[in-house]
Amino acid sequence: MTKAIIAVLLMALVTYLPRVLPFILFRREIKSPYIKSFLKYVPFSVLGVLTFPDIFTSTGDYRTAIPGTLVALLLAYKEKSLVVVAIGAIITVFLSGLFLTAL
C-alpha cells in the first residue's frame, strides 16, 4: 500500500510540473505569428490525436464503439453541448451492446 501511495504522489508531481514549468521558464510575450499559430492549433491537434483511433477500442468492442463514435460526431456537428454528446455516445454504445447480445 505504501508503494501505491508513493507512486500516486510521484504521478501527481509529474502531472503538475508540465502544467507550471512554462510559467517559470518563459515570461516574455511571444511575437512570432508562426509560434502563436502553432500554440493556437495545439489543442485541436492533441484532442484529435487522443481521440482517434483510441475511441474505437474504448468500449472493449469496436462493434459498439463505431456506432457510438458516429452518434458523437453527428451530435457535435449539430453543436450540442459536451454532456449531450458524451451521454448520446454512452447510450448508443449501451444499446448496441444490448442489440449484439440479443443476436
State which of positions 19-48 bind another protein (CB under 8 A): 19-24, 26-27, 29-30, 33-48
90 binds another protein (CB under 8 A): yes
Least distance from another protein to the Cβ atom of residue 78, Å: 9
Out of 62, 63, 101, 102, the residue judged to bind another protein by CB under 8 A: 101
Q: CA-based angle 47:53:57, to the nearest 5?
A: 115
Query: What is the rounded CA–CA span in Å between residue 39 and residue 67?
Result: 33
Least distance from another protein to the Cβ atom of residue 27, Å: 8
Least distance from another protein to the Cβ atom of residue 102, Å: 12
Query: What is the rounded CA–CA span in Å between residue 9 and residue 68?
Result: 35
Looking up cell 483511433, which residue turns up? 53
